[in-house]
Amino acid sequence: MKDENTIPDGLLMSVAQFRDIMDARLPFADLLGLKVDHFMSDHVRLHAEYSERFLRPGGTIAGPVMMGLADAALYALVLSRIGPVELAVTTQLSINFLRKPAPGDVIADARMLKLGKRLAVGEVSLLSASEPSGEPVAHATGTYSIPTPDKRS
């Protein structure tokens, strides 16, 4: 297992650095029970630890929980590629709910589709840890605006 302080080849941020930002600057991450699983050269994986607070009528995980997780995974993905540019912001986020997830942890696997100088476009597959099929329960796409170097702090 790699040290979480190690920055994988091709990336500009480690898991530990993102966790520090999450702990200090993203209070919603604690509400969603967000955990960073890993940063890899081709994807970033986060998960939301299950809480009964996530349930909506019908006994399924609420859409806002999955949307928040998808957005956080895209943010982690973008920062892993551009470094600790906290002012990168979501400009578009779209989600398709594919199936009803059973109560349990939700996993977000984010991949970059295009990284430019001013915009980053990515996709996220959301999986239910309690479903053995491994089929996605939702799919999201999003765009992040990357500030110019003079406006990054």
Q: Give the percent of the chain with pLDDT over 90.
A: 82
Kindly list the domain boundaries of the chain, sorted by start residue: 15-151
**Is 1's pLDDT higher than 60?**
no
Other CB atoms within 10 Å distance of the CB of residue 75? 26
Cα–Cα distance, 144 to 71 (Å, whole number): 10
More confident residue, 14 or 132: 14
Tens digit of each residue's pLDDT (9 = 90 or more) over 61-86: 999 999 999 999 999 999 999 999 98
Residue 6 CA to residue 54 CA, distance in Å, equals 33
| Cβ partners under 8 Å of residue 118, min gap 6 | 145, 146, 148
CATH superfamily of 15-151: Hotdog Thioesterase (3.10.129.10)
Q: 2 pLDDT exceeds 70?
A: no
pTM for the model:
0.93
The DSSP-derived string for 37-68 is EEE-SS-EEEEEPP-GGGEETTTEE-HHHHHH
CA distance 53 to 30: 13
